[in-house]
Amino acid sequence: MTPSPVPAQSPRVLLTRPAGSNERLAEALTQRGIDVRIAPVLNIRSAELSEHDREHLIHLDRFSDLICTSQHAARAFLDLASDWWPQWPVQQRCWCLGTKTRQLLENAGFRVRQPGAGHTSEALLDAINHLQESLPHDTRPDSGEEWPLTRVLLLSGEGGRETLQQQLSAAGYAVEKLALYRRETIPPERWAPLLEGWQADLVLALSGETLHQLVALSHNTGHSFSDATVLVPSERVADLARPYFGTVRVLTQPDHEGQLAAICQTFGIKR
């Protein structure tokens, strides 16, 4: 595919995801004449599991449904749970957010469900409620293609998706959370030099933690994002970003294809 022409001044894009998660998008953008800099502001580390946590993995078949909120959670879960489960429980659904998360789980042999529209916790909860409401009241777990949610295991990171857990509980679902990884902030002084003499036209910030790191950089060094566009995953993060960025856009599809499309659209570049 031949990239379309770009302006004489190449658009400048800052990618901020954890190490190892930016390269594919950076390559695609560079091929289109975009000046890309990669500055991971968070590290992903494995969480230490308690005995209670391990019990959830050992007795995975006690849960009617799993909810996996990210590719980091999926990788950690598959690595840990496979020690006890060479074959996954048969009568168990797995819900997820994100295309990469789905691919990881399906490749491992899980039956995976995603929201039909939207990539947020709210969209996922709507999809779960819709399924639950569509089942006959006397449906038994072993009665056929679908079964009611009775007990849910939420697979996520430390401090992540707390709103989803609260919403599920408020909707009457029995929910246990298993935090499989933690995010560690990288001090701005370690990545701020990458931005010296360079001003991003667009920043990709896919979490609230990432946004907080960028704001901290601005406060500590005076580096301004007031003229930049920021792409964020949800309205919640958008609200956090508005005081600091010139333009805030919420991604309608926050996977690789959606990110690439949104960035190209911002600069009027054909994909």
Residues 162 and 213 in one domain: no
Residues 32 and 157 in one domain: no
In the chain, the number of structural domains is 2
Evaluate whether residue 202 is within a structural domain: yes
Residues 201 and 242 in one domain: yes
Evaluate whether residue 33 is within a structural domain: yes
Evaluate whether residue 5 is within a structural domain: no
The confidence score (pLDDT) of residue 57 equals 95
Residues 108 and 23 in one domain: no
* Lowest mean pLDDT, pick from 3-12, 71-80, 110-119, 151-160: 3-12
| pLDDT tops 60 at residue 139 | no
* Lowest mean pLDDT, pick from 19-23, 88-92, 102-106, 226-230: 88-92
111 — alpha (psi -120 to 50), left (phi > 0) or beta?
beta
43-87 confidence digits (pLDDT tens): 999 999 999 999 999 999 999 889 998 899 999 999 999 989 999
Q: Which of 183, 207, 230 is at the close of a domain?
A: 183
φ, ψ at 138 (rounded to 5°)? -100, 15
Residues 61 and 111 in one domain: yes
Once rounded to an integer, what is the mean pLDDT over residues 37-43? 94
Q: What angle do CA 190, 194, 195 make, to 5 degrees?
A: 115
Q: Are 112 and 92 in contact (CB under 8 A)?
A: no
Closest CA to 261 of 199, 204, 200, 198: 204
Residues 225 and 252 in one domain: yes
Full domain range(s) for residue 56: 46-183
Tokens encoding 58: 């050992």
- Measured between alpha carbons, how far is 20 from 1 in angstroms, rounded to an integer? 25
Residues 190 and 178 in one domain: no
Burial of 178 (0-12, 13-18, 19+ CB in 10 A): buried
Once rounded to an integer, what is the mean pLDDT over residues 82-101? 88
Evaluate whether residue 3 is within a structural domain: no
List, in sequence order, the alpha helices (H) in the chain: 23-31, 51-58, 71-81, 99-107, 121-134, 162-170, 188-191, 208-221, 235-241, 256-267
C-beta atoms surrounding 1 within 10 Å: 7
Residues 120 and 217 in one domain: no
Q: Which of 183, 208, 243 is at the close of a domain?
A: 183
Closest CA to 266 of 221, 218, 213, 200: 200
Evaluate whether residue 4 is within a structural domain: no
Percent of the chain with pLDDT over 70: 90
- Measured between alpha carbons, how far is 220 from 188 in angstroms, rounded to an integer? 8
The confidence score (pLDDT) of residue 12 equals 97
Cα–Cα distances (Å) from 191 to 20, 30, 39, 195, 223, in that order, read: 15, 20, 6, 8, 12
Q: Could you tell me the CATH number of the domain that includes residue 203?
A: 3.40.50.10090
pLDDT class for 120, splitting at 50, 70, 90? Answer: confident
Q: What angle do CA 69, 70, 73 make, to 5 degrees?
A: 95
pLDDT class for 2, splitting at 50, 70, 90? Answer: low
| pLDDT tops 50 at residue 248 | yes
Closest CA to 64 of 95, 101, 109: 95
Tokens encoding 176: 């246990």
Residues 165 and 260 in one domain: no
182-198 confidence digits (pLDDT tens): 999 898 888 888 898 99
Tokens 């019990």 identify what position? 55
Evaluate whether residue 6 is within a structural domain: no
Q: Which of 183, 199, 232 is at the close of a domain?
A: 183
Evaluate whether residue 229 is within a structural domain: yes
Residues 55 and 154 in one domain: yes
Residues 205 and 109 in one domain: no
Residues 238 and 144 in one domain: no
Evaluate whether residue 81 is within a structural domain: yes
